[in-house]
Chains A and B, each alone.
Chain A
């Protein structure tokens, strides 16, 4: 029935196939963008629009503690915001695949099951790089002037590190929520969580109790740390967490990963219960 010999399979180790399978899942994710250019426009357009809107509309009215330029304060915050909302994309794709039976098909195939999740993660990180690049170009066009060099690269890495941690929340939620519509509802949860942080407004300017919550928001640490690394620091609050932003920008995603990676994997394994 086939002119091909389908039984002969190249002899490679498990690790080779885990990587190859992962790459093929990534390839599928990237082909999605190629098939739906509108999606790229939307996914990249939203961050650009946010940069423009927040920068020009709010920019004039916003104060920065210590008297810096709001643009310098805002841009790293925008990058963090985009990384944060990224988990909704992860969750949406995962819930779509699981409700449509695509994940079941993968699981019924002799491929590495780890690739299903890992491939999603790598695709999301590639997307995140593209998002960051285009946002930074927009920011530069608007007059944002970060320091180059090692600090810049470190800031970029910290942003991806945050995105990496959020992948696992996305996968976990994607396997948890019942349908794609519910995944859309995650935005309503994510939005306040990004507002109560230091990404748009300095916590010192908020009511005391809210400022404390905002300062301890994990994404605030990444925002503060990247501001520092981009060479546009702002006078920050004097709480412990704000004083140790660089450290915490490394620790928070580690904690999130430590909690949600096992949860996501367990949820994935529970599919076979």
Chain B
């Protein structure tokens, strides 16, 4: 109202008051805006030693809950395994953390940034290798990396140089100018990894990176992953192969039915199922009851007998003493032994104990009430 007043007239106190009030509000708003921006900037730099943090994640698909209160904390510079059977929610978790899918409830940060609020900033700091090699099969390996590099906004020149670096690093120089359609499974996966590494991201998500690969290709991928971590990348690896989690991960979260049910080092997890087990296979099935009796003498609990396999096994504390004792007694009693040995618990045992079902898709018939009972079967 002050502005429309023609010159020459005196301003009243009220007009000065309004002007002053407006100015105050405006500057308050501007200062608060700046503070807010600063706070936002600081949140990105907040360093608590974790590259990935998730709390109470819920993702619903219709009536089904793919994630049901899932939580995770991944330390910087480590490989963290996310282990679970098919349909446990591994892929959903990775898709939420890599901003591909919106979460329904909970909170997740990646590289210190909230995935729901700042997905674009998160995307500049992550790499993702999904279950199938997401590369263009028509283009050559080099063309793939250059295309993705330009889409990462590196510009033509840097995209070309970065492609060259990555081809060398992932041992793809010889095949660089061949169509990806002619690549082996392992080469394709390595190219996929290279594409995920274009921006040298802080966090790399590997969703079942070796599913469907032959053992040799699997070894190649493992080598690449190890090299990445040596350079400081944090890796979240989902897998249903216990061997893979055991070999690569320094810490493992076990997921089942959308929930994290355990989080520990591989050794820590193994110790939860108890110590070593002794295992005896007898040549004659009729000798099995006698073998069970002998094993029972050294066992920590009731031995478990497998009639069909002529096998008995039990948990023991003093492994060497137990082995010698059982071997000697069986020989004295004239029981012919086909095989005898000590077995360390595998992550498979851990999984079975925790969830009541095995990790392998074929055996994952669903949860049963009594895990111990199934373990005995």
Which A residues are within 8 Å of any B CB, using their own CB?
A: 1-4, 6, 9-10, 17, 20-21, 24-25, 27-28, 31-32, 35-36, 100-102, 104-111, 271-273
Contact = CB atoms under 8 A, between A and B. Distances in A.
Contacts of B139: 28, 31-32, 35
Interface stretch (B148-156, B336-344, B369-377): B148-156
Contacts of B158: 4, 6
Given A105-B195, A108-B123, A110-B120, A6 B154 contact: yes
A108 B153 contact: no
B136 A101 contact: no
A104 B100 contact: yes
Nearest to B104: A273
B200 A1 contact: yes
A35 B140 contact: yes
B267 interface: no
A108 B138 contact: no
Interface residues of B, number: 42
Interface of B: 98-102, 120-121, 123-124, 126, 128, 130-140, 143, 147-148, 150-155, 158, 161-162, 165, 169, 179, 195, 198-200, 231
Nearest to A119: B151
29 contacts: A1-B231, A4-B154, A4-B165, A6-B162, A10-B155, A25-B151, A27-B150, A31-B139, A31-B147, A32-B138, A32-B139, A35-B179, A100-B133, A102-B134, A102-B136, A105-B135, A105-B148, A106-B151, A108-B98, A108-B99, A108-B126, A108-B128, A109-B152, A110-B120, A110-B123, A110-B152, A110-B153, A111-B152, A272-B101
B105 to A, nearest CB: 15
A21 B162 contact: no
Contacts of A20: 150, 153
B210 to A, nearest CB: 16
Nearest to A17: B153
Given A104-B128, A107-B100, A9 B153 contact: yes
Which among A1, A36, A108 has the highest number of chain B CB atoms within 10 Å? Answer: A108
A36 B99 contact: no
Contacts of A6: 154, 158, 162, 198-200
Contact of A272 (B100, B169, B198): B100
Contacts of B128: 104-105, 108
Given A32-B139, A35-B143, 5 more contacts: A2-B162, A2-B165, A27-B150, A35-B139, A100-B137
Most chain B CB inside 10 Å of its own CB: which residue of A28, A32, A272: A28
B60 to A, nearest CB: 10
Contacts of A36: 138
B373 to A, nearest CB: 39
Nearest to B162: A4
B200 A27 contact: no
Given A4-B161, A27-B147, A109 B123 contact: yes
A4 B166 CA distance: 12
Given A4-B161, A6-B199, A10-B155, A109 B148 contact: yes
Nearest to A102: B134
A38 B133 CA distance: 25
B153 A10 contact: yes
B148 A272 contact: no
Contacts of A107: 99-100
Contacts of B165: 2-4
Contact of A35 (B102, B138, B161, B198): B138
Q: Which of B131, B137, B138 has the most CB of A within 10 A?
A: B138
A100 B134 CA distance: 6
A132 to B, nearest CB: 24
Contacts of B195: 105
A109 B151 CA distance: 8
A47 B198 CA distance: 41
A111 B198 CA distance: 14
A105 B138 contact: no
A133 B356 CA distance: 66
A104 B195 CA distance: 13
A14 to B, nearest CB: 10
Contact of B133 (A35, A101, A108, A271): A101
B134 to A, nearest CB: 3
A186 B238 CA distance: 37
A-B pairs with lowest CB-CB distance, top 8: A101-B134, A110-B123, A105-B134, A110-B124, A108-B128, A1-B231, A24-B150, A111-B151
B292 to A, nearest CB: 52
A252 B323 CA distance: 84
Contacts of A31: 138-139, 143, 147
A91 B128 CA distance: 25
B98 to A, nearest CB: 5
Contact of A102 (B135, B140, B200): B135
Contacts of A3: 161, 165
Given A1-B200, A6-B199, A35-B140, A101 B131 contact: yes
Contacts of A24: 147, 150-151
Contacts of B154: 4, 6, 9
